[in-house]
Structure 1
Amino acid sequence: EDITLTRRNVTHAVNRKISYIESAYSHNCEKVIGQIYEKAWLRGYKRRQFFVSSKVPMIGYEGHLASKFMKLSRRNLGVQEMDACFVEGPVGLQGKDLNDVCPVNEKGECILDEGSDFIRVWRTMEDQFLLNHTNFIGLCNFNIDQINTICQWARFPPHMVQMDINVYNMRKEERRILREWRIKIIATHIFGSPTFIPTYALFTGAIPRSRKCILNGSITKNITKFQLSYEEMVMLNKLDTEGAARLMDFPDYKG
C-alpha cells in the first residue's frame, strides 16, 4: 500500500467534492483518510458532505471483535458515527493479531476460520446500528443465497449490499431480486477485473493497448446528463458474461 499515493488521490477526490470514498479496515488506509477528512472540516466542509463508511474485516467475525473493529474504524476515520458499515465477505479468516488482515499459509492460501459465527456478527452489526454508531449496515461480496439466509433471521435486514458490477458482469438477476427485497446496491469494481478484461479482449481478437487517463479540472460534465442510445445499450448488453467475470469469486468460497 502506497500511503503517499493514497493521500494524494483521496485529497484530490475531496477537493473535487466527491462525497463517497471507499474505505475498509483491511485496506490499512483509514487513518490517512481520517486525517484528510479532518483537514477538510477545518477548511469549512460539513460532516454531512461525506458518506463515511468502513467494513468489518474478515478476521473480525466474532461478536466482540466485530464491535472492536467498528470502534477502531470510527476512531481512524475521526467520526463518532459512520454512515454505513459492511461485513467484508462471506467467510472468516484466522489472523494472528488485529493487523494480520489477510492471513495466508506457507502455500499462499487464505487461512480460513471455518468457525465464524455470522449470526453473532450480524447481531453485533444490528446492535451497533441501534446504538447509532452507524446509520446503515450492509454486506459485501455475498451471493443471493447468503444474503437471503441473513435476511431470514435478521432483526434488521441489510440496508445495502456491495457487489462488483460492470459491463462484463452486470448481475441483472441479482439486482432484480435485491430491488424486490428493497436492499440498496452499491456497485464496486465498475471498471472490471484488471486480469480478466485483457484476457477477454485477446479471446475476442482485440489487441489491448495501454491507456492513461488524466482527470483534471477540465472534466466538468454533469453525470446526470450522460445518456446512452438504444444501440449503445445493445452493444453493452452483449459484453455481459453472466458471471464469468466476477472479480470476488474466490476458489475458497463463493462470495
Structure 2
Amino acid sequence: IESFTKVVNTTIQEGLQNMNNLYAVMMLLKAVCSAIPRNIDSFMAEIIQVVEKLTNDVLKPLQNASTNIIPTLNGSTQPPDYNTSVLIMALQLVNSRICDLNEPRSAFLACLTQLVEKSKDIELLRTIFEMAKQWVILKTEPFPTIEEKANILVNMLCFESLDDKSLMEDYLNLVITIYTKPSFARTELTLKLERAFLIGTRNGSAKIRNKFMEIFDQSMIKSLSTRFNYVIAGQNWEPLAGYFWIHQAFDLLI
C-alpha cells in the first residue's frame, strides 16, 4: 500500500508541476481526498496555481474558433470545454478545504471574482454559485469571512446579463433566504446586498418580486407618515435608476 500511495502522490505532483494530464490528476486528487480531505493539503499550492492558470485561459477569447479547438496548458489541443471541466474540478477541490486556507484563500477568491464577472459559462458559474450558497447557508466556520462571502455575492449581480435567467433567479432566492434569516439581520452581508435586494423587486418573475416586496413591507413601521418619509428621503433608489421605481414606492405606501 505504501508503494502504491507513493506512486499516486508522485503522479499527482508531476502532473501539477508540469501542468500535464490535468483531468486525470484531478480525478486522482478527488479519490485521494474522498475519505480524508486533508490528504490534498500538501498539493494545495499547486492546485491553486492550476486554478489561476486555467482562470486566465478560460477567460481568453477562443484563438481558433474556426476549428473549435483551443490549446491546453501543456500546448496540446482539446475541445474548448476541456479547460473548463478541469477548472471546475480544481475549484471544487480547493473549496473542500476553504476553511483551512490562509493566504492562498485570497488568490482563490480573486479567481472566483474574475470568473463571476467575465465568464458566460453557465456550468462554471453555477458551480461557483453553489459554493457561495454553501458558505452562506451551511458553513459555520470563520472562513470564508462574512466580508469575503458578501463580496462574491455582490459580484453575482452580473448574472442578470446572462441569457439563462434561472441562475439569476436562484441567486435572488438566496438573497431572499439571507434577508429572512434572523442570524443575518444587520450584518455586512445584508448591508452589501441592498442593491441586489432592490434589483430583486424588479425581477421578471412575479413570485420573486412579491417575495422581495413582502420582506420590504414587513421591515417597515406601519405608520403611513413614517413610511412616506422613508420612501422619499430615507431609501436610496439609485440601484433602480432607469426603472420605474415609483411602483415599488407606491406599494410600500398602500
Q: TM-score, normalised by structure 2?
A: 0.29
The higher-RCO structure (CA 8 Å, 6+ apart) is 1
Q: Tell me which protein shows more strand as a share of its residues.
A: 1
Which structure: larger Rg? Answer: 2
Q: TM-score, normalised by structure 1?
A: 0.29
